[in-house]
Amino acid sequence: MSPDKPRLLVHSSASVVHPKCPPINTHVRMTTLFAGYVVEEIIGRPNACMLHQVSMWDAKGKVPNFILKLANSRRAYAVAKIRDVVSNPKTWQPRPEWWVKR
């Protein structure tokens, strides 16, 4: 890798249809067209990085404000977790308990 190009860590996702959770006619399901994060190394600052977040959704109608606030609060929490993992990679969990509620 060239020393003048920053290293990147990329995470992306999109909605899919799964047989265990098929679409139903009585509910409208928002579609994530694209979402993701890019963690970019800042050259010359060994303990710093820049986080870029991208998301594009199709809500398929009007979304109540409390749902938007809930989604945004989870995104903020996810950014904090990304910061923690970048600071200490040993804290990464394949199935994070903070996201998957049982």
In the numeric block, which tokens belong to residue 2?
Answer: 């060239």
If we measure between CA atoms, which residue out of 85, 22, 19 comes closest to residue 51? 85
In the numeric block, which tokens belong to residue 3?
Answer: 């020393």
Per-residue pLDDT at 102 exceeds 50: no
For residues 63 and 29, give the distance between their C-alpha atoms in angstroms, rounded to a whole number: 11
Per-residue pLDDT at 44 exceeds 70: yes
pLDDT single digits (tens) 16-28: 988 988 888 888 8
- pTM, entire model: 0.62
